[in-house]
A and B are shown apart, each in its own frame.
Chain A
Amino acid sequence: MVEILEKIYGMTAIGNFVEQPLYIVMILLAFVLLYLGIKKEFEPLLLVPIAFGVLIANFPGGGMGVYAALDTTYNGVLYHNAVTFPDGSLWCDANGIPYNIYEVGLPLIAHDLGIMNYLYYALIKSGLLPPIIFMGVGALTDFGPMLRNLKLAIFGAGAQFGIFAVLIVASQFFTMQEAGSLAIIGGADGPTAIFTTLKLAPHMLGPIAIAAYSYMALVPVIIPLVVKLTCRESELKINMREQDKLFPNKQEFKNLRVLKILFPIAVTAIVAIIVPDAVALVGMLMFGNLIKEIGNNTSRLFNAASNGIMNAATIFLGLCVGATMTVDAFLNWQTIMIVAGGFCAFGFSIFGGIMLVKIMNFFSKKKINPLIGATGLSAVPMASRVANEIALKYDPRNHVLNYCMSSNVAGVIGSAVAAGILIKFLG
Protein backbone atom coordinates (compact mmCIF):
# COMPACT_ATOMS: atom_id res chain seq x y z
CA MET A 1 0.00 0.00 0.00
CA VAL A 2 2.80 2.38 1.00
CA GLU A 3 4.63 1.43 -2.18
CA ILE A 4 1.57 2.29 -4.28
CA LEU A 5 1.19 5.61 -2.49
CA GLU A 6 4.88 6.34 -3.05
CA LYS A 7 4.47 5.57 -6.74
CA ILE A 8 1.48 7.90 -6.98
CA TYR A 9 3.42 10.58 -5.10
CA GLY A 10 6.36 10.10 -7.47
CA MET A 11 4.05 10.36 -10.47
CA THR A 12 2.64 13.73 -9.42
CA ALA A 13 4.50 17.03 -9.36
CA ILE A 14 3.91 17.46 -5.61
CA GLY A 15 7.31 16.05 -4.69
CA ASN A 16 9.04 18.49 -7.05
CA PHE A 17 7.17 21.41 -5.49
CA VAL A 18 8.37 20.30 -2.05
CA GLU A 19 11.96 19.97 -3.29
CA GLN A 20 11.95 23.25 -5.23
CA PRO A 21 9.32 25.69 -3.85
CA LEU A 22 10.45 28.36 -6.33
CA TYR A 23 8.28 26.62 -8.93
CA ILE A 24 5.31 27.95 -6.94
CA VAL A 25 6.70 31.50 -7.20
CA MET A 26 6.80 31.16 -11.00
CA ILE A 27 3.28 29.77 -11.10
CA LEU A 28 2.08 32.68 -8.96
CA LEU A 29 3.86 35.03 -11.37
CA ALA A 30 1.99 33.37 -14.23
CA PHE A 31 -1.29 33.98 -12.38
CA VAL A 32 -0.39 37.66 -11.90
CA LEU A 33 0.43 38.01 -15.61
CA LEU A 34 -2.81 36.25 -16.56
CA TYR A 35 -4.70 38.61 -14.27
CA LEU A 36 -3.03 41.64 -15.86
CA GLY A 37 -3.76 40.35 -19.34
CA ILE A 38 -7.35 39.18 -18.79
CA LYS A 39 -8.73 41.52 -16.15
CA LYS A 40 -6.62 44.65 -16.58
CA GLU A 41 -6.41 44.17 -20.38
CA PHE A 42 -2.65 44.93 -20.49
CA GLU A 43 -1.66 43.85 -24.03
CA PRO A 44 -3.89 40.74 -23.69
CA LEU A 45 -3.04 39.40 -27.14
CA LEU A 46 0.53 38.84 -26.03
CA LEU A 47 0.45 38.80 -22.27
CA VAL A 48 -2.09 35.95 -22.09
CA PRO A 49 -0.03 33.53 -24.28
CA ILE A 50 3.18 34.56 -22.48
CA ALA A 51 1.59 34.06 -19.06
CA PHE A 52 0.19 30.69 -20.08
CA GLY A 53 3.60 29.71 -21.41
CA VAL A 54 5.09 30.60 -18.01
CA LEU A 55 2.41 28.54 -16.31
CA ILE A 56 2.85 25.34 -18.31
CA ALA A 57 6.65 25.62 -18.31
CA ASN A 58 6.84 25.63 -14.54
CA PHE A 59 4.97 22.45 -13.71
CA PRO A 60 7.89 20.13 -12.98
CA GLY A 61 7.87 16.97 -15.02
CA GLY A 62 5.65 18.50 -17.69
CA GLY A 63 8.60 18.96 -20.04
CA MET A 64 7.22 22.24 -21.38
CA GLY A 65 10.01 24.52 -20.20
CA VAL A 66 12.51 25.72 -22.79
CA TYR A 67 16.12 24.80 -22.13
CA ALA A 68 18.76 27.42 -22.83
CA ALA A 69 21.69 26.30 -24.98
CA LEU A 70 24.89 27.56 -23.36
CA ASP A 71 28.60 26.95 -23.70
CA THR A 72 29.36 24.53 -20.88
CA THR A 73 32.52 22.93 -19.52
CA TYR A 74 32.11 19.19 -18.86
CA ASN A 75 34.95 16.97 -17.68
CA GLY A 76 37.34 19.81 -18.43
CA VAL A 77 36.17 20.12 -22.04
CA LEU A 78 34.22 23.09 -23.40
CA TYR A 79 31.01 22.13 -25.22
CA HIS A 80 29.16 24.71 -27.27
CA ASN A 81 25.38 25.18 -27.04
CA ALA A 82 24.90 22.35 -24.58
CA VAL A 83 21.64 21.81 -22.73
CA THR A 84 21.75 21.43 -18.96
CA PHE A 85 18.76 19.84 -17.22
CA PRO A 86 17.45 21.22 -13.88
CA ASP A 87 19.20 18.38 -11.99
CA GLY A 88 22.56 19.54 -13.39
CA SER A 89 23.00 16.71 -15.91
CA LEU A 90 23.70 17.43 -19.57
CA TRP A 91 21.75 16.30 -22.62
CA CYS A 92 24.13 13.76 -24.12
CA ASP A 93 24.25 11.27 -26.96
CA ALA A 94 24.67 7.49 -26.50
CA ASN A 95 28.42 7.95 -25.96
CA GLY A 96 27.87 10.48 -23.18
CA ILE A 97 29.00 13.44 -25.30
CA PRO A 98 26.87 16.57 -24.80
CA TYR A 99 24.87 17.54 -27.87
CA ASN A 100 25.36 20.87 -29.58
CA ILE A 101 21.67 21.74 -29.97
CA TYR A 102 22.25 23.45 -33.32
CA GLU A 103 23.79 20.31 -34.76
CA VAL A 104 20.90 17.99 -33.98
CA GLY A 105 17.67 17.65 -35.93
CA LEU A 106 14.37 19.09 -34.76
CA PRO A 107 12.72 15.63 -34.41
CA LEU A 108 15.38 14.67 -31.84
CA ILE A 109 14.74 17.91 -29.95
CA ALA A 110 11.01 17.17 -29.95
CA HIS A 111 11.61 13.58 -28.82
CA ASP A 112 14.12 14.26 -26.06
CA LEU A 113 13.26 17.80 -24.89
CA GLY A 114 9.56 18.07 -25.65
CA ILE A 115 7.33 19.88 -28.08
CA MET A 116 7.86 23.35 -26.59
CA ASN A 117 11.60 23.15 -27.23
CA TYR A 118 10.83 22.01 -30.78
CA LEU A 119 8.63 25.09 -31.30
CA TYR A 120 11.16 27.38 -29.63
CA TYR A 121 14.17 26.25 -31.64
CA ALA A 122 12.23 25.99 -34.92
CA LEU A 123 10.25 29.22 -34.74
CA ILE A 124 11.87 31.56 -32.24
CA LYS A 125 15.55 30.72 -32.02
CA SER A 126 15.68 30.64 -35.79
CA GLY A 127 14.53 34.29 -35.69
CA LEU A 128 11.48 33.45 -37.82
CA LEU A 129 8.57 34.85 -35.84
CA PRO A 130 9.59 38.46 -35.01
CA PRO A 131 9.92 39.43 -38.72
CA ILE A 132 6.62 37.68 -39.46
CA ILE A 133 4.96 39.71 -36.74
CA PHE A 134 6.56 42.81 -38.24
CA MET A 135 4.92 41.90 -41.55
CA GLY A 136 1.55 41.85 -39.77
CA VAL A 137 2.33 45.16 -38.04
CA GLY A 138 3.19 46.65 -41.44
CA ALA A 139 -0.10 45.40 -42.85
CA LEU A 140 -1.91 47.18 -40.03
CA THR A 141 0.10 50.41 -40.29
CA ASP A 142 -0.95 53.48 -42.23
CA PHE A 143 1.93 55.69 -43.32
CA GLY A 144 -0.56 58.37 -44.43
CA PRO A 145 -0.26 60.53 -41.27
CA MET A 146 3.52 60.32 -41.50
CA LEU A 147 3.53 61.36 -45.17
CA ARG A 148 1.26 64.30 -44.35
CA ASN A 149 3.59 65.46 -41.55
CA LEU A 150 6.95 64.22 -42.75
CA LYS A 151 9.07 66.61 -40.66
CA LEU A 152 7.62 65.20 -37.44
CA ALA A 153 9.07 61.78 -38.32
CA ILE A 154 12.45 62.94 -37.03
CA PHE A 155 11.19 62.55 -33.46
CA GLY A 156 11.16 58.83 -34.11
CA ALA A 157 14.95 59.16 -33.94
CA GLY A 158 15.03 61.35 -30.82
CA ALA A 159 13.05 58.74 -28.94
CA GLN A 160 15.75 56.11 -29.48
CA PHE A 161 17.95 58.00 -27.02
CA GLY A 162 16.90 55.72 -24.15
CA ILE A 163 18.31 52.66 -25.92
CA PHE A 164 21.82 54.06 -26.14
CA ALA A 165 21.73 55.87 -22.78
CA VAL A 166 20.86 52.66 -20.95
CA LEU A 167 23.41 50.74 -22.99
CA ILE A 168 26.15 52.87 -21.41
CA VAL A 169 24.99 52.14 -17.85
CA ALA A 170 24.07 48.50 -18.46
CA SER A 171 27.46 47.78 -20.02
CA GLN A 172 29.00 48.28 -16.57
CA PHE A 173 26.98 45.39 -15.12
CA PHE A 174 26.44 43.08 -18.09
CA THR A 175 28.38 41.89 -21.12
CA MET A 176 28.00 44.23 -24.10
CA GLN A 177 25.65 41.74 -25.79
CA GLU A 178 23.45 41.49 -22.70
CA ALA A 179 23.50 45.28 -22.25
CA GLY A 180 22.41 45.74 -25.88
CA SER A 181 19.52 43.31 -25.40
CA LEU A 182 18.42 45.11 -22.26
CA ALA A 183 18.75 48.55 -23.83
CA ILE A 184 16.57 47.70 -26.84
CA ILE A 185 13.57 47.63 -24.48
CA GLY A 186 13.79 51.44 -24.82
CA GLY A 187 12.60 51.07 -28.40
CA ALA A 188 9.19 50.06 -27.01
CA ASP A 189 8.80 47.36 -29.59
CA GLY A 190 8.23 43.77 -28.48
CA PRO A 191 9.20 41.92 -31.70
CA THR A 192 12.30 44.12 -32.10
CA ALA A 193 13.35 43.42 -28.50
CA ILE A 194 12.89 39.68 -29.04
CA PHE A 195 14.71 39.70 -32.37
CA THR A 196 17.68 41.61 -30.94
CA THR A 197 17.87 39.46 -27.80
CA LEU A 198 17.83 36.28 -29.88
CA LYS A 199 20.82 37.55 -31.80
CA LEU A 200 22.76 38.97 -28.85
CA ALA A 201 21.82 37.25 -25.57
CA PRO A 202 19.23 34.49 -26.10
CA HIS A 203 19.49 33.32 -22.49
CA MET A 204 17.86 36.61 -21.43
CA LEU A 205 14.89 36.27 -23.78
CA GLY A 206 12.19 35.56 -21.18
CA PRO A 207 12.71 38.49 -18.82
CA ILE A 208 13.43 40.92 -21.67
CA ALA A 209 10.25 39.97 -23.54
CA ILE A 210 8.21 40.27 -20.37
CA ALA A 211 9.76 43.65 -19.52
CA ALA A 212 9.29 44.95 -23.09
CA TYR A 213 5.64 43.94 -23.31
CA SER A 214 4.86 45.02 -19.75
CA TYR A 215 6.23 48.50 -20.33
CA MET A 216 4.39 48.71 -23.66
CA ALA A 217 1.24 47.90 -21.73
CA LEU A 218 2.19 50.58 -19.21
CA VAL A 219 2.52 53.31 -21.87
CA PRO A 220 -0.63 55.03 -20.48
CA VAL A 221 1.21 55.36 -17.16
CA ILE A 222 4.81 56.01 -18.23
CA ILE A 223 4.19 58.71 -20.89
CA PRO A 224 2.05 60.92 -18.61
CA LEU A 225 4.65 60.49 -15.86
CA VAL A 226 7.60 61.61 -18.04
CA VAL A 227 5.52 64.39 -19.64
CA LYS A 228 4.56 65.69 -16.21
CA LEU A 229 8.19 65.74 -15.12
CA THR A 230 9.54 67.45 -18.23
CA CYS A 231 6.86 69.66 -19.84
CA ARG A 232 5.26 72.97 -18.89
CA GLU A 233 1.51 73.51 -19.26
CA SER A 234 2.09 76.20 -21.89
CA GLU A 235 4.03 73.70 -24.01
CA LEU A 236 1.32 71.07 -23.76
CA LYS A 237 -1.24 73.65 -24.91
CA ILE A 238 0.54 74.23 -28.24
CA ASN A 239 -2.21 73.67 -30.79
CA MET A 240 -0.81 71.99 -33.88
CA ARG A 241 -3.70 72.96 -36.15
CA GLU A 242 -3.30 76.61 -35.25
CA GLN A 243 0.42 76.33 -35.89
CA ASP A 244 -0.41 74.79 -39.28
CA LYS A 245 -2.65 77.76 -40.06
CA LEU A 246 0.07 80.22 -39.05
CA PHE A 247 2.78 78.34 -40.94
CA PRO A 248 0.94 76.33 -43.60
CA ASN A 249 2.42 73.17 -45.03
CA LYS A 250 2.98 73.76 -48.75
CA GLN A 251 3.05 70.06 -49.56
CA GLU A 252 0.29 69.02 -51.95
CA PHE A 253 -0.84 65.44 -52.52
CA LYS A 254 -2.20 64.69 -55.98
CA ASN A 255 -2.11 60.91 -55.79
CA LEU A 256 -1.78 59.55 -52.28
CA ARG A 257 -2.48 55.97 -53.36
CA VAL A 258 0.53 55.73 -55.68
CA LEU A 259 2.64 57.53 -53.08
CA LYS A 260 1.69 55.00 -50.40
CA ILE A 261 2.65 52.14 -52.73
CA LEU A 262 6.04 53.62 -53.64
CA PHE A 263 6.93 54.65 -50.09
CA PRO A 264 7.46 51.19 -48.51
CA ILE A 265 9.51 50.05 -51.51
CA ALA A 266 11.75 53.11 -51.33
CA VAL A 267 12.19 52.96 -47.53
CA THR A 268 13.19 49.29 -47.73
CA ALA A 269 15.83 50.14 -50.31
CA ILE A 270 17.23 53.01 -48.24
CA VAL A 271 17.38 50.99 -45.00
CA ALA A 272 18.86 47.99 -46.80
CA ILE A 273 21.70 50.13 -48.09
CA ILE A 274 22.49 51.91 -44.82
CA VAL A 275 21.75 49.27 -42.15
CA PRO A 276 21.53 45.83 -43.80
CA ASP A 277 21.08 44.17 -40.40
CA ALA A 278 17.74 45.94 -39.98
CA VAL A 279 16.29 44.61 -43.24
CA ALA A 280 14.78 41.50 -41.64
CA LEU A 281 12.52 43.77 -39.59
CA VAL A 282 12.10 46.88 -41.74
CA GLY A 283 11.83 44.86 -44.96
CA MET A 284 9.05 42.68 -43.58
CA LEU A 285 7.31 45.72 -42.07
CA MET A 286 7.34 47.44 -45.44
CA PHE A 287 6.29 44.30 -47.31
CA GLY A 288 3.26 43.99 -45.04
CA ASN A 289 2.45 47.63 -45.69
CA LEU A 290 2.92 47.27 -49.44
CA ILE A 291 0.41 44.43 -49.78
CA LYS A 292 -2.04 46.54 -47.81
CA GLU A 293 -1.58 49.62 -49.98
CA ILE A 294 -1.76 47.80 -53.34
CA GLY A 295 -5.38 47.09 -52.56
CA ASN A 296 -7.70 44.58 -54.22
CA ASN A 297 -5.02 42.77 -56.19
CA THR A 298 -3.20 41.66 -53.04
CA SER A 299 -6.09 41.73 -50.61
CA ARG A 300 -5.80 37.97 -49.99
CA LEU A 301 -2.14 38.38 -48.99
CA PHE A 302 -3.07 41.34 -46.83
CA ASN A 303 -5.79 39.34 -45.08
CA ALA A 304 -3.38 36.48 -44.46
CA ALA A 305 -0.60 38.75 -43.16
CA SER A 306 -2.80 40.83 -40.90
CA ASN A 307 -5.03 38.04 -39.59
CA GLY A 308 -4.17 34.35 -39.88
CA ILE A 309 -0.39 34.50 -40.07
CA MET A 310 -0.02 37.29 -37.55
CA ASN A 311 -2.37 35.65 -35.06
CA ALA A 312 -0.68 32.25 -35.35
CA ALA A 313 2.75 33.87 -35.00
CA THR A 314 1.57 35.79 -31.94
CA ILE A 315 0.30 32.62 -30.25
CA PHE A 316 3.53 30.67 -30.80
CA LEU A 317 5.73 33.65 -29.95
CA GLY A 318 3.88 34.27 -26.70
CA LEU A 319 3.79 30.64 -25.59
CA CYS A 320 7.44 29.98 -26.43
CA VAL A 321 8.70 33.20 -24.82
CA GLY A 322 6.68 32.38 -21.70
CA ALA A 323 8.12 28.87 -21.68
CA THR A 324 11.66 30.25 -21.50
CA MET A 325 10.84 31.71 -18.08
CA THR A 326 11.72 28.78 -15.92
CA VAL A 327 12.90 29.02 -12.31
CA ASP A 328 16.60 28.97 -13.23
CA ALA A 329 16.27 31.44 -16.08
CA PHE A 330 14.00 33.96 -14.38
CA LEU A 331 14.48 34.06 -10.62
CA ASN A 332 17.87 35.75 -10.42
CA TRP A 333 19.35 39.20 -9.93
CA GLN A 334 19.66 39.69 -13.69
CA THR A 335 15.90 39.76 -14.06
CA ILE A 336 15.57 42.53 -11.48
CA MET A 337 18.25 44.52 -13.32
CA ILE A 338 16.43 43.95 -16.62
CA VAL A 339 13.13 45.16 -15.17
CA ALA A 340 14.77 48.28 -13.70
CA GLY A 341 16.96 48.94 -16.74
CA GLY A 342 14.06 48.44 -19.13
CA PHE A 343 12.01 51.03 -17.28
CA CYS A 344 14.88 53.53 -17.46
CA ALA A 345 15.36 52.84 -21.19
CA PHE A 346 11.66 53.40 -21.79
CA GLY A 347 11.58 56.60 -19.74
CA PHE A 348 14.76 58.01 -21.33
CA SER A 349 13.39 57.32 -24.81
CA ILE A 350 10.28 59.40 -24.08
CA PHE A 351 12.53 62.05 -22.52
CA GLY A 352 14.77 62.05 -25.62
CA GLY A 353 11.82 62.68 -27.93
CA ILE A 354 10.50 65.51 -25.74
CA MET A 355 13.92 67.15 -25.49
CA LEU A 356 14.36 67.08 -29.27
CA VAL A 357 11.04 68.93 -29.65
CA LYS A 358 12.17 71.51 -27.10
CA ILE A 359 15.45 72.05 -28.92
CA MET A 360 13.63 72.46 -32.24
CA ASN A 361 11.07 74.83 -30.68
CA PHE A 362 13.96 76.96 -29.44
CA PHE A 363 15.19 77.55 -32.98
CA SER A 364 11.94 77.45 -34.94
CA LYS A 365 9.05 79.90 -35.24
CA LYS A 366 6.57 77.10 -35.80
CA LYS A 367 6.12 75.50 -32.40
CA ILE A 368 5.56 71.80 -31.89
CA ASN A 369 3.70 70.19 -29.01
CA PRO A 370 6.25 68.13 -26.99
CA LEU A 371 3.77 65.28 -26.86
CA ILE A 372 4.70 64.59 -30.48
CA GLY A 373 8.24 63.94 -29.33
CA ALA A 374 7.03 61.68 -26.53
CA THR A 375 5.37 59.44 -29.12
CA GLY A 376 8.58 58.77 -31.02
CA LEU A 377 8.42 55.35 -29.38
CA SER A 378 7.29 52.50 -31.51
CA ALA A 379 4.31 51.53 -29.35
CA VAL A 380 1.79 52.15 -32.16
CA PRO A 381 -0.89 53.43 -31.80
CA MET A 382 -1.19 53.37 -28.02
CA ALA A 383 1.45 56.06 -27.45
CA SER A 384 -0.37 58.40 -29.86
CA ARG A 385 -3.72 57.78 -28.22
CA VAL A 386 -2.27 58.48 -24.77
CA ALA A 387 -0.59 61.68 -26.00
CA ASN A 388 -3.84 62.81 -27.62
CA GLU A 389 -5.70 62.32 -24.35
CA ILE A 390 -3.10 64.39 -22.49
CA ALA A 391 -3.36 67.19 -25.07
CA LEU A 392 -7.17 67.18 -24.85
CA LYS A 393 -6.94 67.47 -21.08
CA TYR A 394 -5.10 70.78 -21.42
CA ASP A 395 -7.10 72.03 -24.41
CA PRO A 396 -10.27 70.18 -25.49
CA ARG A 397 -9.84 71.45 -29.08
CA ASN A 398 -6.26 70.29 -29.44
CA HIS A 399 -6.38 66.98 -31.32
CA VAL A 400 -2.78 65.87 -31.85
CA LEU A 401 -3.43 62.22 -32.78
CA ASN A 402 -2.54 62.54 -36.47
CA TYR A 403 0.64 64.48 -35.70
CA CYS A 404 1.67 61.97 -33.03
CA MET A 405 1.09 59.09 -35.43
CA SER A 406 3.81 60.54 -37.67
CA SER A 407 6.52 60.30 -35.02
CA ASN A 408 5.00 57.09 -33.66
CA VAL A 409 5.21 55.25 -37.00
CA ALA A 410 8.69 56.70 -37.59
CA GLY A 411 9.59 55.24 -34.18
CA VAL A 412 8.91 51.73 -35.53
CA ILE A 413 11.47 52.34 -38.28
CA GLY A 414 13.83 54.06 -35.82
CA SER A 415 13.82 51.24 -33.28
CA ALA A 416 14.32 48.61 -36.00
CA VAL A 417 17.31 50.58 -37.31
CA ALA A 418 18.70 50.90 -33.76
CA ALA A 419 18.29 47.13 -33.37
CA GLY A 420 20.15 46.58 -36.63
CA ILE A 421 23.03 48.72 -35.37
CA LEU A 422 23.24 46.83 -32.07
CA ILE A 423 23.20 43.49 -33.89
CA LYS A 424 25.85 44.68 -36.34
CA PHE A 425 28.29 45.91 -33.70
CA LEU A 426 27.59 43.52 -30.83
CA GLY A 427 26.38 40.37 -32.59
Chain B
Amino acid sequence: MEKLFESLQLMVIGLTTVFSVLLLVIYLGKGLIALVNKIAPEEEKPKAVANNVSASNVVDPNVAQAINMAISQLTAGKSQATKIERI
Protein backbone atom coordinates (compact mmCIF):
# COMPACT_ATOMS: atom_id res chain seq x y z
CA MET B 1 0.00 0.00 0.00
CA GLU B 2 2.89 2.28 0.86
CA LYS B 3 4.50 1.57 -2.50
CA LEU B 4 1.23 2.24 -4.29
CA PHE B 5 0.92 5.60 -2.59
CA GLU B 6 4.55 6.44 -3.34
CA SER B 7 4.23 5.53 -7.02
CA LEU B 8 0.96 7.49 -7.35
CA GLN B 9 2.69 10.47 -5.77
CA LEU B 10 5.57 10.07 -8.21
CA MET B 11 3.12 9.95 -11.11
CA VAL B 12 1.57 13.26 -10.08
CA ILE B 13 4.97 14.89 -9.48
CA GLY B 14 6.50 13.38 -12.61
CA LEU B 15 3.76 14.25 -15.07
CA THR B 16 3.32 17.73 -13.59
CA THR B 17 7.06 18.38 -13.89
CA VAL B 18 7.32 17.03 -17.45
CA PHE B 19 4.31 19.14 -18.51
CA SER B 20 5.72 22.20 -16.74
CA VAL B 21 9.16 21.81 -18.32
CA LEU B 22 7.74 21.40 -21.81
CA LEU B 23 5.33 24.31 -21.30
CA LEU B 24 8.29 26.40 -20.22
CA VAL B 25 10.21 25.22 -23.30
CA ILE B 26 7.25 26.25 -25.49
CA TYR B 27 6.98 29.70 -23.96
CA LEU B 28 10.75 30.05 -23.87
CA GLY B 29 10.79 29.22 -27.59
CA LYS B 30 8.11 31.85 -28.25
CA GLY B 31 10.03 34.39 -26.21
CA LEU B 32 13.24 33.62 -28.07
CA ILE B 33 11.49 33.94 -31.44
CA ALA B 34 10.19 37.38 -30.44
CA LEU B 35 13.58 38.40 -29.06
CA VAL B 36 15.53 37.24 -32.10
CA ASN B 37 13.02 38.89 -34.45
CA LYS B 38 13.59 42.12 -32.55
CA ILE B 39 17.35 42.16 -31.98
CA ALA B 40 18.68 40.15 -34.91
CA PRO B 41 16.02 40.26 -37.62
CA GLU B 42 18.43 39.87 -40.53
CA GLU B 43 19.76 36.46 -41.34
CA GLU B 44 23.44 36.76 -42.22
CA LYS B 45 24.05 35.92 -45.82
CA PRO B 46 26.44 33.01 -46.15
CA LYS B 47 29.83 34.22 -47.33
CA ALA B 48 30.19 33.92 -51.07
CA VAL B 49 32.24 30.82 -51.47
CA ALA B 50 31.31 30.16 -55.07
CA ASN B 51 34.33 32.09 -56.36
CA ASN B 52 36.66 30.21 -54.05
CA VAL B 53 35.17 26.94 -55.16
CA SER B 54 35.54 27.77 -58.82
CA ALA B 55 39.05 29.06 -58.15
CA SER B 56 40.00 25.82 -56.51
CA ASN B 57 38.48 23.96 -59.42
CA VAL B 58 40.83 25.62 -61.91
CA VAL B 59 43.29 23.04 -63.04
CA ASP B 60 46.91 24.00 -63.40
CA PRO B 61 47.72 24.52 -67.16
CA ASN B 62 50.70 22.18 -66.89
CA VAL B 63 48.49 19.46 -65.42
CA ALA B 64 45.89 20.06 -68.15
CA GLN B 65 48.58 19.76 -70.80
CA ALA B 66 49.84 16.53 -69.26
CA ILE B 67 46.32 15.07 -69.18
CA ASN B 68 45.76 16.05 -72.83
CA MET B 69 49.03 14.48 -73.86
CA ALA B 70 48.16 11.27 -72.03
CA ILE B 71 44.72 11.10 -73.67
CA SER B 72 46.23 11.84 -77.06
CA GLN B 73 48.78 9.06 -76.59
CA LEU B 74 46.20 6.53 -75.40
CA THR B 75 43.68 7.28 -78.18
CA ALA B 76 46.24 7.80 -80.94
CA GLY B 77 45.28 11.46 -81.23
CA LYS B 78 41.57 10.74 -81.84
CA SER B 79 40.32 12.28 -78.60
CA GLN B 80 41.07 15.24 -76.44
CA ALA B 81 39.80 16.59 -73.12
CA THR B 82 37.30 19.43 -73.52
CA LYS B 83 36.74 20.03 -69.82
CA ILE B 84 38.82 19.08 -66.81
CA GLU B 85 37.18 19.26 -63.39
CA ARG B 86 38.55 18.60 -59.94
CA ILE B 87 36.34 16.07 -58.11
Interface set of A (CB-CB < 8 Å, partner B):
146-147, 150-151, 153-154, 156-157, 160-161, 163-165, 167-168, 171-172, 176, 179, 251-259, 262-263, 266-267, 270-271, 274-275, 410, 413-414, 417-418, 421-422, 425-426
Contact = CB atoms under 8 A, between A and B. Distances in A.
Given A157-B19, A176-B6, A179-B3, 16 more contacts: A146-B29, A153-B25, A154-B19, A156-B22, A157-B22, A164-B14, A167-B11, A171-B3, A171-B7, A254-B36, A254-B42, A262-B36, A271-B21, A274-B21, A410-B22, A417-B17
A426 B3 CA distance: 12
8 contacts: A147-B29, A150-B29, A153-B26, A157-B22, A252-B33, A414-B18, A417-B18, A422-B10
SS of A interface (majority): helix
B24 interface: yes
B33 A157 contact: no
Contacts of B40: 254-255, 258
Contacts of B23: 154, 157
Q: Interface size bucket, B side?
A: 20 to 34
**Those 6 A-B pairs whose CB atoms lie nearest each other, nearest first:** A164-B11, A254-B41, A171-B7, A171-B3, A168-B7, A157-B18
A266 B32 contact: yes
Contacts of A425: 10, 13
Contact of B6 (A157, A171, A263, A418): A171
Contact of B42 (A150, A176, A255): A255
Interface of B: 3-4, 6-8, 10-11, 13-15, 17-26, 28-30, 32-33, 35-37, 40-44
Contacts of B22: 153-154, 156-157, 410, 413-414, 417
A174 to B, nearest CB: 9
A417 B10 contact: no
A422 B14 contact: yes
A81 B2 CA distance: 28
Given A164-B11, A421-B13, A154 B21 contact: no
A254 B10 CA distance: 41
A164 to B, nearest CB: 4
Which of B10, B13, B23, B33 has its CB near the most chain A CB atoms (within 10 A)?
A: B10
B28 A270 contact: yes
A167 B20 CA distance: 20
Contact of A160 (B15, B24, B28, B33): B15
A257 B44 contact: yes
A259 B33 contact: yes
A171 B28 contact: no
B26 to A, nearest CB: 5
A151 B27 CA distance: 9
Which of B8, B19, B36 has its CB near the most chain A CB atoms (within 10 A)?
A: B36
Contact of B20 (A252, A254, A274): A274
A413 B32 contact: no
A421 B13 CA distance: 8
B81 to A, nearest CB: 34
B4 to A, nearest CB: 7
A172 B3 contact: yes
B36 A150 contact: no
B24 A263 contact: no
Contact of B14 (A150, A163, A262): A163
Contacts of B26: 150-151, 153-154
B32 A263 contact: yes
A161 B4 CA distance: 16
A267 B27 CA distance: 11
A418 B41 contact: no
A259 B28 CA distance: 11
Nearest to B30: A150
A421 B14 CA distance: 6
A157 B15 contact: yes
Nearest to B22: A157
B25 A176 contact: no
B24 A274 contact: yes
Contact of A413 (B11, B20, B25, B30): B25
Nearest to B38: A254
Contacts of A254: 36-37, 40-43
Contacts of B33: 147, 251-253, 259
B43 A257 contact: yes
Nearest to B18: A157
Nearest to A165: B11
Contacts of A252: 33, 37
A156 B7 CA distance: 21
